Structures are given as structure tokens and as C-alpha cells.
Amino acid sequence: MIYLDNNATTKPDPRVVEAMLPSLREAYGNAASRSHPFGWAAEEAVETARGRVAALIGADPREIVWTSGATESDNLALKGVAEAYADRGDHLVTAATEHKAVLDAARHLERQGKRVTILPVDKFGVVDLDALRDSLTERTVLVSVMLANNEVGTLAPLAEISRLCREHGILFHTDATQGVGKVPVDVEALGVDLMSFTAHKMYGPKGVGALYVRRRNPRVRLTAQMDGGGHERGMRSGTLNVPGIVGFGAAAELCRQEMARDAAHTCRLRDRLHEGIQSGLDGVALNGHPTERLPNTLNLRFEDVEADALLLGMPQVALSSGSACTSASVEPSHVLRALGLTDAQARSSLRFSLGRFTTEEEIDRVAERVVHEAARLRRLAPERVLTA
């Protein structure tokens, strides 16, 4: 098997797994147990990890709130702000290409009486800043735009968006799940107020994520969405996943040290894959921005070829025709439709997402298999209907 679905999840780095083992074997205490050494050791491990995760994004460790993953972080950010700032306004703004965790949370708030504006994007997946400016009102409390799209890899102009939000006194949240660990992220330089991300997209374990919550200029208020023991400074109750958090910290530290090397590696292989497919097959087009995108992500559409059929013909290659969180849906990708693709074009698209452990040999084998299988499917088609 060749694994090219790293935007769905990454293989845990063996060094991360090794770092987690003591918290599973010996230091297995509850980080909230303050009366004995087992709890003290767990708390120390959690705070060490908090510092490492904060360092990766240029934050203060006290601005990191542990969650079960980016989906929970997104929900806490949107719902927590909407409730905490209800006296100030009832309007939220987001984009059509956001992850379902953001879009569905926004729709939930809409059913509760909040007003939500979902902005369109251009053919590359970029939000129009003028449209964003025009959407803002005196009742807008939050704008949420993702850092990097999970399907096509397009990077958003976050610094420009945050400046616009600051001018209007509006909080800015970004789902940075696909970007943190792959591209440099500095919450101060970007000017974000809340940021969601998770460990399993950066060679860490599943089931643990974080929400960055700004403490100063402005100090962001959140209404907790989970009641309990008041953990995480009252923002997120629940016994902490100590081994997962330790793994998150280890993964963050590795990304901080090796991000430039990883990016150069995946970018080179991504372009090699693109060239290998394009040189052997006609009717192939890129989805997303040609330059302002993640170094590891390649989303291609194949004229007259159903992506699902292509996947079935390559059982030895792990790929995706969309987001893992919506792969059970029969509907075409909402991201690709938002870029202006037809249903047929969206269903003819494949996402290749490379990672730290991807090899050149694997890339060459995948390019060869894609070309061979796409050509075979076209020969089997009774007639060719232009779809790209």
C-alpha cells in the first residue's frame, strides 16, 4: 500500500509514539489530581506539551486550551463566542469552502436565531476581501475563515482578513487544522483571535486538539460548551487525555524543528507527481490556487473519468476524492462546487496529500498507476463527454 491521504490523517511519527509511552505505562495519573506524585507528574507533562504547542504557533502557553480535536475546537470557538458576545451582536461570517465543523456549527447557531453570512470564493478558493468588508455590520461578532483548505490546499490571506476585522472591532477565528505543522504560523503576525488545530494532521495521535484563545489585545471571552469540573480555566471541562497531549507536544516540537525540510520534501514530490501525471495523460486540470497552497496537496480533475472508478482501479493506493469527514456523502464536494466546478467535474477530482514519510519511488509508482488506470477507463467509456 502507498499512503497519499495525509490530509485525512498522518502516520504517527515513531518518535511521537515513543514520547507517549511513559504516560501510558508509569506516569498514568490524572493531571487534575493535585495530592500525589502521579498527578503532579501528569500535570507537568501536560504543561510541557502546552509550551511546545504554543511555541509552534507563537502563542503564550496560557492561550492553549486542550480539546478532543479540531472539530471540538471549531465548535467551542463559534458557539462559545456567539454566546459570550450575545449582548454585542448576533451575526457571524464564514466562507463556503470551510470544513463542515465550521459550516455545521454556523448552521446550528442559525437555527438558534443567529444570523450567518456564508461568503462565496473565487475559482481558486479565495475569499473576496471586498465581499467580506461589505458583509460586516455593527452586529457582527465573529469572522471564521480557514488558513488552508483541506481539499485543494489553497491558503487564505489571513493577515489581510484580520486587519479588516480589527478595523471593525470583530473577533477573527481560523480553522488552521491543515496548515499548522506544514507552513509557518504565527498568531501575532496573522492577528488571529482564535485558532483551531489538531495533533493527528501533524504526525501526532488522534483524539487530541487545541484551541488558541487570545489573552490580550483583545482578551477573548468564551462560554464553555461542556460543563463539568472547570478544567482548562473553565473553558473546557473533562479529564485531560495526558498521553495524547504529550504526543501532541512531541509532534509540535518535531514540526517546529523539521517543518522547512518537510515542506521542501513534500513540495518537490507533489510537483513531481503532478508532472508525472500531466506528461502521460491529457485532460488533467488543477483544482485550487497554483502557487498559494500547501506544499503537500495536489487536487486534480480528470476529464471523462469518475474519481471513484479511478480509486477502485488502484486499490493499492490510499487516496481521497474529498474530505474524510464527508466521504460517506453521495453529494459532490461542497468545496469544489464552491470553486465553480460542475457536479461532473467535482466527481472527476482526486486529492493527493503527501507527507513526511512519502518517498520518490512511491510517487513515481502512483503517477504510473494513475495514468494507466485513467487511460483504461477512458477506453472503456462508450463515448467521451467533456467534463473538464
What was the pLDDT predicted at 93? 98
Q: Looking at the structure, do residues 21 and 137 belong to the same domain, yes or no?
A: yes
CATH of residue 236's domain is 3.40.640.10
CB burial string 210-223: b at 16+ within 10 A, e below: bbbbbeeeeebebe
CA distance 183 to 57: 10
**Is pLDDT above 60 for 23?**
yes
Please check whether residue 387 lies inside any domain of the structure: no
Please check whether residue 385 lies inside any domain of the structure: no
Q: Looking at the structure, do residues 165 and 194 belong to the same domain, yes or no?
A: yes
Q: Looking at the structure, do residues 192 and 288 belong to the same domain, yes or no?
A: no
Q: Looking at the structure, do residues 248 and 186 belong to the same domain, yes or no?
A: yes
- Is 339 in contact with 124 (CB distance < 8 Å)? yes
Ramachandran category for residue 285: left, alpha or beta (phi over 0 → left; psi -120 to 50 → alpha): beta
Please check whether residue 190 lies inside any domain of the structure: yes
Q: Looking at the structure, do residues 82 and 216 belong to the same domain, yes or no?
A: yes
Mean of the per-residue pLDDT values of the chain:
95
| Residue tagged 497531549 (cell numbers) | 245
**Is pLDDT above 60 for 384?**
no
Q: Looking at the structure, do residues 246 and 263 belong to the same domain, yes or no?
A: no
Residue 38 pLDDT grade (very low, low, confident, very high; cuts 50, 70, 90): very high
Please check whether residue 228 lies inside any domain of the structure: yes
Q: Looking at the structure, do residues 58 and 206 belong to the same domain, yes or no?
A: yes
Q: Looking at the structure, do residues 148 and 283 belong to the same domain, yes or no?
A: no
User: Does the active-site annotation cover 255?
Assistant: no
Q: Looking at the structure, do residues 307 and 172 belong to the same domain, yes or no?
A: no
Q: Looking at the structure, do residues 36 and 171 belong to the same domain, yes or no?
A: yes
What was the pLDDT predicted at 331? 82
CATH of residue 368's domain is 3.90.1150.10
What was the pLDDT predicted at 388? 42
Tell me the CA distances in angstroms from 74 to 39, 213, 356, one per residue in order: 29, 12, 26
If we measure between CA atoms, which residue out of 325, 305, 331, 338 comes closest to residue 74? 325
CA 299-303-308 angle, to 5 degrees, is 65
What was the pLDDT predicted at 385? 47
Catalytic residue among 165, 255, 267, 325: 325
> Domain boundary at 254, 272, 306, which?
254
- In three-state secondary structure terms, 77 is helix
Describe the strand order of the beta sheet including 349-353 as a list of residue ranges. 284-287, 297-302, 349-353
Tens-place pLDDT, residues 145-181: 999 999 999 999 999 999 999 999 999 999 999 999 9
Number of domains the chain contains:
2
pTM of the complete model: 0.94
Q: Looking at the structure, do residues 226 and 360 belong to the same domain, yes or no?
A: no
If we measure between CA atoms, which residue out of 155, 156, 154, 153 comes closest to residue 164? 156
Tens-place pLDDT, residues 178-237: 999 999 999 999 999 999 999 999 999 999 999 999 999 999 999 999 989 889 988 999
What was the pLDDT predicted at 233? 86
CA distance 359 to 357: 6
Structural Rg of the chain based on CA atoms: 21
What was the pLDDT predicted at 381? 78
> Domain boundary at 236, 254, 272, which?
254
What was the pLDDT predicted at 387? 45
| Residue tagged 498527578 (cell numbers) | 39
Q: Looking at the structure, do residues 197 and 144 belong to the same domain, yes or no?
A: yes
CB atoms within 10 A of CB 285: 15
Q: Residue 300's domain spans which residues? A: 2-6+258-380
pLDDT above 90 as % of the chain: 92
